[in-house]
Structure formats: structure tokens, C-alpha cells
Structure 1
Amino acid sequence: MPGDTAVQARPSIIVDHVSKQFLLRRAHAFKEAFVGWVRGKDVSSEKFLALDDVSFTIHEGESVALLGFNGSGKSTMLKLISGVMEPDDGSVLVRGRLAGLIEVGAGFHPDLTGRENVYLNAAILGMQKDEIDARYDDIIAFSEVERFIDQEVKHYSSGMFMRLAFSVAIHCELDILLVDEVLSVGDAPFQAKCRAKIEELSREGKTMVIVSHDQEMVRQVCDRGIVIRQGKQVYDGPIEPAIDAMMA
């Protein structure tokens, strides 16, 4: 079950009127591109508003699901919270030590071994060498990639990337955990172990923001859902109505 949020603690994450847009590149025939150039118009790209004036606050110990169909903007929101990207308008404030599983293998160097990448990725997440040394055996045991730990990770499968990245993140001293669909990678027993670990962290009072299409998992872990549709926030409330709002 999710952590107890009956007593509202201090905010961990504040998203205040956030908007984010991207330029989408388009391919055109030479004639169309030439006419656009003559007329002084750029026809090679168009603006896409990925997030439009989104605001919410997540308090310490809350487990919140960001819900929406593909292309809705939820992963962009997670990247803004993680600091990978910055908003064009508004602000994102985060308090606490944050670990993010935004993309499988992000932060891993392909030419380094799994062992070397554990130290590199853990250092990126703010761990000191003595902390990593103390938790190294637990990280490797949880990841179940002991046999391949001294191989260069460019030879790893996506599932092996995920196992090692997830294991490093959850063994950090974290206050906030961000997870973006990476639990869909790997076999069923390992997915179940990951879900159990997330539930354990939730019971310990860690703040979590999870992007997932696994409705059963978010029901088990999250007490609240924020639904984003075509870049706009359309619902923020209890998880079961949030799932209904996403499907509406």
C-alpha cells in the first residue's frame, strides 16, 4: 500500500504553470521548400506544445502516477521534474535527493563494464565512493547480472540495462524516485521484484512519481493520479477516478 499521507508534509515537488514546446522537423519537396524560402517562411519545422500551463504539488511521502496515452506529455513532465530539461514557461521546484529511471540505460557509458557503470551511475545520482562500496554487493545481487558485470554494457540487452539501472537507483539514499515505464522491460519475475521494491520504498515514505500503463501496478503503489491529455492537465485526484479519467 502507498505511504501514509494523512498528515500532509512539506512539498517535495512544485510544478507551477509549466509549459514546454518543441520544434518538429518536417520533410518537404524541394519546390515547396524553395517557395517557402522565397516567401521568407520556414516550412521545415512546426511548433508542438507538449505541455500547456500544468500545475500541481506533490508532498513528501506521496506516490503519484502521471497518466495519459502516448504523446500526452507525461514523460516530458517527468524529464522536467528530473532536471533533464527546463520549462519554457513556469517553474519546477524539487526538494530532496532525487533518483530517476527516465530512460533505460541513461547515464551508462557503453564502453565501460557493468561494474564501472555502477560506480559512474551511482556517482551521478550523488553517492560517495564509500556508500557505493558498502552497497555494491546488494546492487549486483538485486540486478541479477553478476555473470556479466565485467562485460562492456554495449553488449547488454535492454533488459540487462534496466535491471542494473533500476538496482543502482533504488539502492541510493533517495527522497524522490521517478520511474518512466522501464518496468515494462524484463521478464515477469523481475518485474514483480521491482514492483515489490517500489511498494517497499512507498511504505518507507519515499516520494514517488510513476509513469506507467500498468493499471494494476499504479493501483497498488499510487494513491493519487494526475492525468495529462494532449499537454493539458485534465484531472488530479484519487487513483481510481484518475484511471477512469484517462480512459474517458
Structure 2
Amino acid sequence: MIPQRILMKFFDFHIQGRDHDSSLRLLLEASRLGYQGGVLVYPSERYPDLKSDLESLRENPELQDFEIARGVMINASDPRDMRRSVNKFRKKADVIYVSGGNLKVNRAACESRRVDVLSAPYTSRRDPGINHVLAREAARNNVAVELPLADVIGSWLKVRARVLEQFREILKLHRKFGFPLLLTSRASSIYDLRTPGDIMNLAECFGMESSEAEESLTSTPASILEDSGNRHLLIAEGVRLLPES
């Protein structure tokens, strides 16, 4: 799994990996912009490629002080498909992401103690993709909701206004129920990356306080990574598998 936790400040929790060279460029740029770590996220069908890429990236002397975690993005057609994929990758990945949008999948992700992150639950929707019921479940199961800033930066005016409103609604639910909230770049090129300060300033556009934005880039990522190693042991509330001795 990932190396011993280091004291870090800022973490970009969603950098889209494609291959070794493009991932290297993204990670080097993230380091230059002021991050101390990042999650390299591959789609589930390409996740086996990440193992060899990651070994080489971690050996790169320019990234010795940059912590790299392994993430897998699960695109599920229904809750059963999601649970099957989560079980497949839970012991392999540091962070399990579920791509949001389908309301049934959104609910299944919020109800699962083996999911780390529900990504962009509002995708292809006019509502935020979660309500009070799902927000309560996400808080109970410690499932983070990801707000990728790429959906704001890369959208046209009308779409951008809708996404910002969806972000505001999710922020209200976060404040009321306390589920973890993440701000990420979801960068696929170096031009998608932003400094932590830029991301915090952008978060003010949908009502986030600076302390909330900083937490979503620092302590929340650190907490998720700290807890992820035990996720595969969690079966249900109050029930944990004992690790093999």
C-alpha cells in the first residue's frame, strides 16, 4: 500500500492518469504548484496499468518528496455492478471512487462502507444528486463527496451556473450532516491544474469559507488515506473482519 503518512499540507485528490509520461508531467506540475501529494486515478478497466507506472513514478528523484496514492474510478451501471467492482478493487487501490450521476448508484455509494469517494453526484442531472437521506448515509459511512473544479472551469456560462448552484446545495448538506467534502482539480493535463490558493479562491464563488476549502484540500484527504487501509475489513455498521494473524 502507500508509504508511511508524511506530514503534508495540500493534496490534489484526483489527478487523472493515462500513461506513465502524462502522469509524470501532471505530478511534477502539481508539485511545482505547491501540492505535497496527489491521487493518481485510473479507470477500473485500466487500473492494472497503474501498478507498473506507479513503481516507476515513485522511483523518480524529482518526486521523492511528493506522496502518490493509487485511485480507481468505478463507472457502474447499477448498484450491483458497483458493489461487485468495489469488492474487486478494495484491497488493490488506496482510494475507491464511484462516478456519480445515476441516483441508484449515488445511493449505493453513500450506503457503502467500502467506498471512499462519491465523485460528482450531480453529473448529467439538474439536481445535486444527493438529498438529506443520502447525505445522512454518506456521513454515517464516512463517504466523501468530490467536487471537481474541472466541471466549473471547463464549462460554458449556462452550464457553469448550474454546476455552481449544485455545489452550493451540496455544501449546505455537508454543513448540516457533516460528510467529508473534497475539492479536486480532476486534471487530465497540466493546464487543468490550479494552485491550492486558486482553488480556495474559486470555492468562494459557491459560498465556501476559506477554512472549509483548506480542510477539503488538507485534513480531509489525509483522513481518507489514513482510513482507507481498513475499509476492506468493514462489513456493516459495528461489524469488522479481523485481519489474518
Same-fold call, TM cutoff 0.5 = no
State TM-score, norm by structure 1.
0.32
Task: Indicate the structure with greater strand content.
Answer: 1
Larger radius of gyration: 1
Task: Indicate the structure with greater helix content.
Answer: 2
Larger RCO: Structure 1 or Structure 2 (Cα < 8 Å, ≥ 6 residues apart)?
A: 1
State TM-score, norm by structure 2.
0.32
